[in-house]
Each structure stands twice: as structure tokens, then as C-alpha cells.
Amino acid sequence: MSTFDYDLFVIGGGSGGVRAGRVAAESGARVGLAEEFRMGGTCVIRGCVPKKLMVFASKFGPAAAEARDFGWDMPDGSFDWSVFRPKLHAELTRLENIYRTNLARPGTEIHDARAVLKDAHTVELSNGRTFSAKHILVATGGRPFIPDLPGAELGITSNEIFNLDRLPEKVLILGGGYIACEFACILNGLGVHVTQWHRGPQILRGFDDEVRGHIAEIMLAQGIDLRVGVSPREFERAEGRIRARGTDDHKVMVDEVLWATGRVPNSDGLGLTDLGVELGESGEIVVDDYSQTSVPSVFAIGDVTNRIALTPVAIREGAAFVETVFKGNPTKPDHELVASAVFTQPEYGTVGLTEEGARAQEKIDVYCATFRPMQKSFIDRDEKALFKLIVSQESQRVLGCHIVADGAGEMIQLAAVAVKMGATKADFDRAVAVHPTMAEEIVLMKTPVRAD
């Protein structure tokens, strides 16, 4: 019989921590978990879930306009945040309770408190209680990063946006990554006037260049005032609003400023450095392939490790940790060919290499089709879908797949199965088209648009 209070103590009740705590408890381990805020973490409470619900909400305005062009007698409507917001929060509470129930069912003890590491086997909670554990798993996630600029505190982050009392008439979004582009499209769809400043030459750095340009064009055509090459400088209250200044004399008066300038690992104030747990340059907990830190009894998963900051990855890391530590089956989480979607409108689904990344590695053929989908061309909308495959000349394997289209998040999940299996271009071609769909284009591209 172990002399520890728990076999596992998990710090953080987000997607990764909850999965690890639940499956460890199901395997018979005695598990405690501490969460200082709300169960479910960033994804459920202030990230993916509320964001996606806002994506749904934001599509009805443009859909109503399209419906009119299809022959519907559809009046102009407007979005009422005061109707949506309570429903949103009721849904988040419902999901939080499900997380709580599922975690407690196999016997995990939940502590609604902040936990700090006291030594390699001890945690102290903010309610004064102390517990010992054979293993400690840090799954504390990340938090928004705000640059240190005059008046920066006048802005909000994605943490606060779901709690606004009212939607702004005008918003300035800072950044050009996932969160900035997603909220630019969401708020624009809800009828908010959106200005977006991105410091770099193009939005969505790290993604495929051709796709980045394609999405930027669509966002501009939708009425988003997207400016690239503009960095934020200073902010002040003026006339009950916020006056924002950027480089090159860019100025704008808005009701809200949304910082979407990246996220940093939540590793501060946990007692990690005192304990000798190695941290990286951005404060991320350094772990090995099995999520073990430099202190053998302490493991870490999810955004706090800054590997791939995505919910499903944190969940896989949590499950692999339990396989390794509690099931005697050493398992490395697989970080190769992780698909993801940026919920711009239309969405961008991607798996594998960008054209630029693939070309740096080997000789490639690039297949790309841009076209007006049937639904848009019927009503004379110009918004084009994009389907792109990057293929290795040598192995003929599909190295990367990129889709910009309504439903691209759904499509890329399925394409990711084929890419992960090592499908070649010929394998894609062998699949008969599903007609009439947009996705059929992925099996119909016959000639490379570029070849090395």
C-alpha cells in the first residue's frame, strides 16, 4: 500500500488534465485534481466551445442575405447579444457539469482550489490543505499574452470577450493568428465593424502562403478592415471610447480593443523553479517524449508544455501519460501530421506540410484548385474555395492538404486519415468523386499547377 495520499495529483482541470485524471482513475489509481477556476479549462470555458458557438451565431446574418438571393422573402435582421449570451453561458455551465461528473464517476477527488508544488511529491492548495502524491501532473494550460504598451490594459482578450455586457459597434483586433482571424470573422458576421492590425506582412504566419493570401482577400472582401504591417503603439480613453495608435500613424477610435497577440504557458507561481523543474525560454515546462519533466515524479501535458497548443493534442498527451505511468505501456504522444482548422469564414482546414515547408525538404508537385462553389456562383458571390495538395515527387505521397471552404474543418478531419495513412496522389485519385460537392475537387485535380 502506497504511503502517498494519491497515486496521481493533477493540477489543472482543462481538457488534458481531465482526460488524464479520468483514465488514471478508471485504471484503478487514486487521483486528486485541483482546478482554481472552472472545470473544462480554456477549451470549454473561454476558447474552442464558446468560440464555435459564436461562429454558428455569426453565420446567420450573411446566410439570410444569401437566402434572399435564393428567393426567400427574408428581412434584414440584427443580432441580439443579450439573447445569445445567457444561452451561451448556460451551455458552458452544462458542459462544465458534464466534465465534473465524468471526472468524479471513476472516483477522482476534485479540489476547487489553486495548487502549488511544495516538493517532488507534495502539493499545497489555496484552501490550506496539503496532499502527497506519487506522481504529479501539471496541466495548467496557457493564458493570453499582452505586449507591454501604454494603455494596453484598456483592451480585452479572448478570456473576456464571452462576458461582454454588450457587443461593441467598432472593434480593433490586434494580431494575425488563429484567434485574431477567427474573431475578426465572427464579429464581422455579427455586425460589428472590425479593424484588424497585424504586424507582419501577411496574416496566419506559419500556414501555407497561398492560403494566407486567399483568406486575407476574402476577409477584406467581407468588409474587415485588415491592415498588415501595422504594430500597436499606444491606447487611451477618449470620448468614452478607446483611441488606438499604431505604427505608420495608423489611428482608430473603437469601443473595444481585442488583444490576440499569442498565448504563453501558465507556469508561474507553481513552485516549479524552486523544485528544479526545467522551464524553457517562453516559460514552458520542458518535458521528454513521455511528458516527464526534469523532476522524475512530475509530468506535464498540454499548452503549459508549448508543444502543439491544441485541445485534442493535450488529450492525447494526457492519455499517453496514463498509458506510460499507470498501465505499464510506455507511449509517446504522436505529434506528427496533426490536422487543425482555423474557423475563419470560410474555414481553413490543414494537415501536413505547407508548400514552402515541403519544398525546403524535397522536390514537390503542387495541385491547387480555386473555384466559386455552386452555392456561391448561383447567387453571383465571388467567394472562392481553395483545395490544395502538396505531393512528394519521389514517393508520390501527399505531404500536405489545405482546404479553404465552408465545412473545411469537417473535410480536413477525413482527409487527415488518408494523409496519416501515407496516401499517395494516386490513392486520392482512385477515390471516385462524390458529386456534386466541393470536396470532390480533392480527387479531381489532374495536373500540377507547379512542379519543382
Q: Give the catalytic positions in this structure.
A: 435
DSSP 8-state symbol, 206: T
Q: Which three cell numbers stand for residue 168?
A: 461593441
**CA nearest to 268, candidates 147, 140, 164:** 140
H/E segment holding residue 19: helix 15-26
The minimum distance between CB 372 and ligand NDP, in angstroms, equals 25
Report the residue number, 310 or 389, with the smaller CB distance to ligand NDP. Answer: 310
Report the residue number, 233 or 327, with the smaller CB distance to ligand NDP. Answer: 233
Q: Which three cell numbers stand for residue 282?
A: 517562453
Report the residue number, 263 or 425, with the smaller CB distance to ligand NDP. Answer: 263
Q: Which three cell numbers stand for residue 377?
A: 456562383
- The residue assigned the cell 476574402 is 218
d(CA 312, CA 169) in angstroms, rounded, equals 34
H/E segment holding residue 186: helix 178-189
Taking the CB of residue 281, how many other CB atoms lie within 10 A of it?
A: 7
Residue number of the CB atom closest to ligand NDP:
177
**CA nearest to 55, candidates 221, 207, 197, 178:** 178
Torsional sign, CA 194, 311, 14, 308: negative
The minimum distance between CB 231 and ligand NDP, in angstroms, equals 5
d(CA 10, CA 110) in angstroms, rounded, equals 10
Q: What are phi and psi of 365, to 5 degrees?
A: -110, 140
Report the residue number, 12 or 175, with the smaller CB distance to ligand NDP. Answer: 175
Report the residue number, 35 or 182, with the smaller CB distance to ligand NDP. Answer: 182
Report the residue number, 108 or 261, with the smaller CB distance to ligand NDP. Answer: 261
Q: Which three cell numbers stand for residue 439?
A: 470536396
Report the residue number, 117 or 309, with the smaller CB distance to ligand NDP. Answer: 309
d(CA 38, CA 253) in angstroms, rounded, equals 34
Please confirm whether the linkage preceding 330 is cis (ω < 30° from 0): no
Measured between its terminal Cα atoms, the distance across the chain in Å is: 64
Cross-strand partners of 342: 348
The minimum distance between CB 146 and ligand NDP, in angstroms, equals 9
Chain residues that interact with ligand NDP, rule: CB under 6 A:
147, 174-180, 182, 198-200, 205, 231-232, 260-263, 309-310, 340-343
**CA nearest to 168, candidates 149, 151, 154:** 154
Q: Annotate 30-89 with DSSP letters as a single string.
A: -EEEE-SS-TTHHHHHHSHHHHHHHHHHHHHHHHHHHHHHTT---------HHHHHHHHH
